[in-house]
Amino acid sequence: MNRHISFGLLMLVAGVSLATSAAAQTAPPADPIVKENATIKVAAHTYVIPDGNVGLVPNVGIIVGSRATLVIDPGLGKRNGEAVLREVAKVSKNTELYVASTHYHAEHTTGIAAFPTAKYVNATVQDDEQVKSGAALIKTFSGRSAVTADLLKDATVRKAEISFDRSYTLDLGGVRVRFLVVGPTHTGGDTGFFVEEDGVLFSGDVVMNNSFLAATAVTSMRAWLAAFDAFAALKPKTIVPAHGAVGDGSLIGVNRTVMEEVQELARDLKSQGRSADDTAKAVQAALVAKHPQWPRANGLAAAARAAYLEAP
Ligand SMILES: [Zn+2]
């Protein structure tokens, strides 16, 4: 709390423009709270609560049909889930609710504690990841700050009420949402959601806007490139990544170009006899030089390793 008060004073004393640059260097990360009264309508049935560029806050999706409403990525812990519910009530009168998650990480799942009567629709691979790693992840995220500890104090892993293998279609009444598992990409069970009547794709961490992609130890580069194909085939007009700004269908091509470059560089370096470690470093440096402002540069090294392993 004290840090926020001193930041407020700094704004007063130094003026907003000076304080903004100072804040970028010195302010602690913002608390991971879903912003209320910020919901935007992106298409006829589709709403988004923007993440406001705050870490551990997802872009929350709300898709409203005549029969039921679907929430995608309900935020970190019960308190954020309750904020999401209040936003849902502003755009939907439906009593029948469904919840889904783009992947098993805690800010995309644990807000479901605020939805005891909703049906959680989840891929079996995400369900398995939560059973295996969900509790440990909740503990890790709790350790980040007093606020995250409080948000997650009662958090538990919830099993799906409706599970599916690789794809599923949910009819909300006048609007259908296609669920598509595309992992192993950022995680094993990354799932995209396509709102058919609206042409809106919720792409999780698989397609992002002005960002490198957060590859991890489970990533398959082949799967990631196939995910771009699967998403592109849907011809989305609007793409809502799990974090960062909403964009249009061109985001897929931008992300694909970078990942193809990573793959090509990794293959070249491997064929020259370079080690995986060397390759990861060289690929990361080469791509960061092209997009010096983009976040998630660490993902490049993991992407390069995946491409290296899969190279002939
Ligand atoms: Zn994640």
- State in Å: Cα 131 to ligand 1 middle: 16
**pLDDT tens-digit series, residues 71-116:** 999 999 999 999 999 999 999 999 999 999 999 999 999 999 999 9
- State in Å: Cα 103 to ligand 1 middle: 7
- In contact, 222 and 259? CB cutoff 8 Å: no
How far apart, in whole angstroms, are the C-alpha atoms of residue 189 and residue 181?
6
Which of 140, 248, 123, 139 has the alpha carbon at shortest distance from 187? 123
pLDDT at 13: 36
Does 153 score more than 60 pLDDT?
A: yes
Burial track 26-48 (b if 16+ CB lie within 10 A, e otherwise): eeeeebbbbeeeebeebbebbbb
- State in Å: Cα 265 to ligand 1 middle: 25
Does 20 score more than 60 pLDDT?
A: no
- State in Å: Cα 152 to ligand 1 middle: 16
Beta strands in the chain (DSSP E): 40-41, 46-49, 60-64, 69-72, 97-100, 119-123, 162-164, 167-171, 176-181, 191-195, 200-204, 238-241, 247-248
- State in Å: Cα 8 to ligand 1 middle: 31
- State in Å: Cα 305 to ligand 1 middle: 19
Q: Is 24 exposed, middle or buried (0-12, 13-18, 19+ CB in 10 A)?
A: exposed
Which of 303, 312, 310, 309 has the alpha carbon at shortest distance from 276? 309
How far apart, in whole angstroms, are the C-alpha atoms of residue 99 and residue 89?
15
Which of 34, 171, 24, 193 has the alpha carbon at shortest distance from 111? 34
Does 57 score more than 70 pLDDT?
A: yes
- State in Å: Cα 116 to ligand 1 middle: 23
- State in Å: Cα 6 to ligand 1 middle: 31
- State in Å: Cα 205 to ligand 1 middle: 6
- State in Å: Cα 186 to ligand 1 middle: 7
Residue type, 213: L
- State in Å: Cα 274 to ligand 1 middle: 30
- State in Å: Cα 187 to ligand 1 middle: 7
- State in Å: Cα 242 to ligand 1 middle: 8
How far apart, in whole angstroms, are the C-alpha atoms of residue 213 and residue 304?
11
- State in Å: Cα 67 to ligand 1 middle: 30
CA 281 to chain centre: 25
- State in Å: Cα 191 to ligand 1 middle: 12
CA 264, 265, 270, 271 torsion-angle sign? positive
How much of the chain, in percent, has pLDDT values that exceed 70? 92
Residue with tokens 């992106």, as numbered in its chain: 42
- State in Å: Cα 87 to ligand 1 middle: 23
Does 141 score more than 80 pLDDT?
A: yes
Across all residues in the chain, what is the average pLDDT? 92
The 10 Å Cβ neighbour count of residue 19 is 19
Q: Is 228 exposed, middle or buried (0-12, 13-18, 19+ CB in 10 A)?
A: buried
- State in Å: Cα 253 to ligand 1 middle: 21
pLDDT at 256: 98
Residue 10 pLDDT level (bands cut at 50, 70, 90): very low
Residues in the chain: 312
130 DSSP 8-state letter: I
How far apart, in whole angstroms, are the C-alpha atoms of residue 181 and residue 137?
21
Residue 26 pLDDT level (bands cut at 50, 70, 90): low
How far apart, in whole angstroms, are the C-alpha atoms of residue 281 and residue 122?
36
Which of 24, 37, 35 has the alpha carbon at shortest distance from 57? 35
- State in Å: Cα 115 to ligand 1 middle: 21
Please tell me whether residue 62 adopts helix, strand or coil conformation: strand
How far apart, in whole angstroms, are the C-alpha atoms of residue 153 and residue 282?
41
Model-level pTM?
Answer: 0.91
How far apart, in whole angstroms, are the C-alpha atoms of residue 229 and residue 33?
34
- State in Å: Cα 132 to ligand 1 middle: 16
- State in Å: Cα 56 to ligand 1 middle: 9
**Cα 278–Cα 280–Cα 286 angle in degrees, nearest 5:** 100
